Amino acid sequence: MMAAMSATGLVATALPLAAINWHSTFFLLFAVLACVCAVAVVAADNVVRMALYLVLSLGATAGLFFLAGAEFVGAMQLMIYVGGTLVLLVFGVMLTAQAPFVSIKTAPGDRALAGIVGASLLAVLLLSAFSVEEWRKPAAGVVGEPTATPIGMALLGVRVDEPPAHAPAGVRSGYLLPFEIVSVHLLVVLVAAAYLARAKRRKTPRAIEVAASVEPPASVAAHAAIGREPAGRSGSVLVGGPR
Amino acid sequence: MAEFLITTVGLSEWLAWTVTAVIAAVLVLNVIAGGALVFIWAERKIAGRIQDRLGPTRTGGRFGWLQSLADGLKLLAKEDLMPEGADGMLFRLAPYVSFCASFCAFIALPFAFDFIGCRLNVGVFFVVAVLGLEVFGVILAGYASASKWSLFGAMREAAQVVSYEVPLGMCVVVPVMLAGSMDMVTIAEKQAGWFTNWYLFHDPFTFVIFWVYVTCAVASVNRAPFDLAEAESELVAGFHTEYSGLRWSYFFMAEYGSMFLVSAMAAVLFMGGWNGPIPVASLLGLSEGTGDTANYFVRLLGMFNLLGKATLGVLVMMWVRWTLPRLRIDQVMTTCLKYCTPIAAAMFAGAMLWQLFLPGGLVPGLDRPAGEIREGWLEGPGGRGAAAPAASDEKVAQVISSQVNP
């Protein structure tokens, strides 16, 4: 035992990485990955590569959530954002599938404009983030047990995160009703979008009906009716009268 | 384990955590890679028997059991080809994306009560979310190959996986609702005891939804009869047409890893996880409290139980693959949208009503875990399913009782 202890002590002193703080290491790793990939999304010139970088960036953000103990939010991030980017990727592939590896060039003026807008947004965010006094101190301690159950309970109106003294008496509605309203609203939007996006198909008559209903082809009509007004004006487009 | 390394072996804290993480990762990696070796051999034998032939017989002696190892060596030695017009970075990256997604999902999969990479409070949700990312590698592969067969295969797979996630999610929600937790360890612990406690036999609705889950799981891992993405009769080999050698075998490992994962999920969600059909350990008088050795033995037994169930699931998938013909794409979509989704929704509502009106089940004598007990931290400290004894347990219980029954 002593030998083992001294050996590990030797290893610990010999290694230059003595006492890595894994939490900070992973935080830096995920944060740098998220930022670099976010920049790469803008810099890349291929739709599918952009989607890949976006997925990496969002995945690194999910890693940050897991690191902070917010497992539910992290899994949500993976499910909704990363999974949603998947559908984006499918559309990207479908739209650019005619010619492989289409590259999208951004004009220099657009780059400059985007840079200005992004930098000003970043400045506002940084200012507001550093102006909150509590965020500048290190955290007081570990936040309580991370679990999804309080979220579900709060949805139903039972709050476990506030002391009973502050809780109002009687039945509370919770967030279930707003949540349901929002989700039904989203569903309506989805159905409406599907309806609008559907190609407006004119009811195409069948070939035999077309043949039965229209007048004879233009050339025949022209031969038959010399001296009358030019035929084909009233003819169907489907049969192809004179243009 | 990290505590053991710190207190007994005397490692410093960061080193202990590193060693623990590496051991867990290597174990999970071995489950995937070793499992793939065994399952590929089993698949060839089963396919052979179903088609009235022998399958591999020579390599490694009697049953050709070294066949997949020989195949692996052959794949290592193969030339690593890349099409000239391919997008190099995406082409090289795609197999790893697929494999990593399959690997990450194993982190939250419990093999026995404590044998779990990372016990997540939202385990089921995490696994479903990560498993959906596997298709990402497939789409990248199909796109980057610059081949129309690959692209067709990838787009088919994307359409299929995205649409089958809906009924799969609904099926997964039912055991979550019955257990009152998304933690896979808690879900499996609620089904402890005889096989009548399994959620498969909880009520008729869960029995039906289990089969919907099986269908959706087979579809979401792209196995026949849903293997349109690599339909070899029409698309050469689908998304991996242009791949060879080791990169190709990463796709295969990801596929077999996912097969094993969805089977293990079925075992945990519907078939009691590591709690056997017959509670051997408790019949022998062994329990968690008997002592460290007995404790370990019980968990080891549970692990073999879970591995056995998952292997059974994989074997059933192979049986289905070599028995049923491949579906057309419209049939695949019809199965998902017109059958699986409505059935899953109806069974979900049915299971919910059953839980509301018949929480004890039809037969009153059976000791069924009560569904209204939520997670361990609500049962009070020391509960079996307790994630970790939180200091504020009693306060939380008070808050809940005061708000639920004012």
Using a CB–CB cutoff of 8 Å, tell me whether A164 touches chain B: yes
Q: What is the pLDDT of residues B357-388, one digit of tens each?
A: 776 666 555 544 443 333 433 443 333 333 33
Number of domains making up chain B: 2
Three-state secondary-structure class, residue B78: coil
Same domain, B72 and B122: no
Average pLDDT over residues A64-73: 83
User: What is chain B's mean pLDDT, rounded?
Assistant: 78
Q: What percent of chain B has pLDDT over 70?
A: 82
* pLDDT for residue A16: 47
H helices of A15-107, in order, are 22-43, 47-67, 71-76, 83-95
Q: What is the signed CA dihedral for B204, B207, B209, B212, rounded to 10 degrees?
A: -140
Instruction: Examine residue B370 and state whether it is found in any structural domain, yes or no.
Output: no
Interchain CB distance below 8 Å, B90 and A49: yes
Instruction: Verify that B115 and B219 share a domain, yes or no.
Output: yes
> Which segment, A29-43, A98-112, B297-311, B386-400, is predicted with the most confidence on average?
A29-43
Are residues B133 and A87, on separate chains, in Cβ contact within 8 Å?
no
Give me the mean pLDDT over the A196-225 stretch: 61
Alpha carbon of A113: minimum distance to chain B alpha carbons (Å): 30
**Per-residue confidence band for B263, with pLDDT thresholds at 50, 70 and 90:** very high
When CB atoms are compared, the residue of B10, B125, B400 closest to A75 is: B125
Asked whether residue B375 is domain-assigned, the answer is: no
Query: How confident is the model over B29-57, as pLDDT tens digits?
Result: 888 888 888 888 888 888 888 888 887 77
- Structure-block tokens of residue B246: 């080791």
Q: What is the pLDDT confidence band of residue A19, given thresholds at 50, 70 and 90?
A: low
Average pLDDT over residues B343-366: 76
3-state class (DSSP) for residue B108: coil
Do residue B54 and residue B103 come from a single domain? no
Q: What is the pLDDT of residue A2?
A: 41
Confidence of residue B397 (pLDDT cuts 50, 70, 90): low
Q: Is A44 within a domain?
A: yes
Confidence check: pLDDT of B15 > 60? yes
Backbone phi and psi for residue B194, each to the nearest 5 degrees, phi listed first = -70, 170
Mark yes or no for CB contact A158/B404 under 8 Å.
Answer: yes
CA angle, B69 as apex, B67 and B74 as ends, to 5°?
A: 95
Residue B347 neighbours by CB distance under 10 Å: 23
Q: What is the pTM of this model?
A: 0.76
B365 located within any domain:
no
Kindly state whether residues B199 and B284 are assigned to the same domain: yes
Residues B393, B37: Cα–Cα separation, whole Å: 47
pLDDT band at A117 (very low <50, low <70, confident <90, very high): very high
Q: Please report which confidence band the pLDDT of residue A5 belongs to, taking 50, 70 and 90 as the band edges.
A: very low
**Inter-chain residue contact A172 with B14, CB threshold 8 Å:** no
pLDDT at A228 over 60: no
- Report CA B355 to chain centroid distance, whole Å: 26
- Print the domain residue range for B338: 82-358
pLDDT at B318 over 80: yes
The C-alpha of A26 sits at a distance from chain B's nearest C-alpha, in angstroms, of 12
Do both B126 and B247 map to the same domain? yes
Does any CB of chain B come closer than 8 Å to the CB of residue A72?
Answer: yes
Packing angle, helices B67-77 and B13-50, rounded to 10: 110
Burial category of B162 from C-beta neighbours within 10 Å (exposed 0-12, middle 13-18, buried 19 and up): middle
Beta-ladder partners of A46? A103
* Whole-number pLDDT of residue A33: 92
Q: Side-chain half-sphere of A113: how many Cα atoms within 13 Å?
A: 5
pLDDT tier at A7, thresholds 50, 70, 90: very low
- Specify whether B148 is located in the same domain as B2: no
pLDDT of B256 > 70? The answer is yes
Q: What is the pLDDT of residue A175?
A: 77
Alpha-carbon gap, residue B267 to A133, rounded angstroms = 49
Task: Determine contact: A22 vs chain B, CB below 8 A.
Answer: yes
Q: Are residues B43 and B165 both part of a single domain?
A: no
Question: pLDDT band at residue A120, thresholds of 50, 70 and 90?
Answer: very high
The reply to whether A119 falls in a domain is no
Number of domains present in the structure of chain A? 1
Using CB atoms and an 8 Å cut-off, which of residues 130-159 of chain B contact chain A?
Answer: 130, 132-133, 135-136, 139-140, 142-144, 146, 151, 154-155, 158-159
In a domain, B165, yes or no: yes
Alpha helices in B62-192 (DSSP H): 67-77, 88-107, 123-131, 134-144, 148-179, 184-190
Pair B189, B258 in one domain: yes
Residue A64 domain flag: yes
**Domain check: are B239 and B116 in the same one?**
yes
Mean predicted confidence (pLDDT) in B7-18: 72
Average pLDDT over residues B255-268: 90
Which of A2, A13, A71, A76 should be substituted to probe chain B, the one whose Cβ sees the most B Cβ atoms within 10 Å? A71
Name the helix (H) or strand (E) containing B145. none
Which percentage of chain B shows pLDDT scores above 90? 3
Looking at the fold, whether B65 and B86 belong to one and the same domain comes out as no
Question: Is A171 within 8 Å of B406 when comparing Cβ atoms?
Answer: yes
Establish whether the linkage from the previous residue to B225 is cis, with ω within 30° of 0: yes
Top pLDDT among A156 and B153 is at B153
Tell me, yes or no, whether B363 lies in a domain: no
Residue A236 forms part of a structural domain: no
Query: Pick from B77, B107, B140: which residue ends a domain?
Result: B77
CA B278 to chain centroid, in Å, comes to: 23
Cβ within 8 Å, pair A83-B130: no
Measure A155 CA to nearest chain B CA, in Å. Answer: 13
Q: pLDDT, tens digit, for every residue of B178-232? A: 887 788 888 888 777 777 778 888 788 888 999 999 999 888 888 878 877 776 6
Percent of chain A with pLDDT over 70: 57
Residue A18, phi-psi category: left (phi > 0), alpha (psi -120 to 50), beta (remainder): beta
pLDDT at residue number B31: 83
Residue B373 within any structural domain of the chain? no
CA-based nearest residue in chain B for residue A46: B87
Q: How high is the pLDDT of residue A232?
A: 43
Alpha-carbon distance of A182 to A72, in angstroms, equals 20
State how far residue A33 is from chain B, nearest Cα, in angstroms: 16
Q: Which of B77, B100, B122 is the last residue of a domain?
A: B77
Give the per-residue pLDDT at A241: 40
Identify the residue among A90, A103, A173, A187 best suited for mutation to test binding to B, counting B beta carbons within 10 A and taking the highest: A90
Query: Domain holding A35: CATH number?
Result: 1.20.120.1200
At residue A147, does pLDDT exceed 70?
Answer: no
Asked if residue B189 and residue B56 are part of one domain, the reply reads no
Give domain status of residue B397, yes or no. no
Q: In the numeric block, which tokens belong to residue B116?
A: 């779990």
Domain contains B279:
yes
B66-74: long-range contacts at Cβ-Cβ below 8 A with a sequence spacing of 24 or more? B67/B41, B68/B36, B68/B37, B68/B38, B68/B40, B68/B41, B68/B44, B69/B37, B71/B40, B72/B37, B72/B249
B150 and B20 in a single domain? The answer is no
User: Of residues B395 and A39, which shows the higher confidence score?
Assistant: A39
Using the predicted structure, report yes or no on whether residue B351 has a pLDDT greater than 60. Answer: yes
| Among B77, B108, B133, residue at a domain's last position | B77
Tell me which residue in B132, B154, B392 faces A83 most closely, judged by beta carbons: B132
Q: Which residues of B370-400 are buried (b: 16+ CB within 10 A; e: fewer)?
A: ebeebbbbbeeeebebbbeebeebeebeebb
Identify the domain containing residue A73 by its residue range: 20-106
Check pLDDT > 80 for residue B287. no
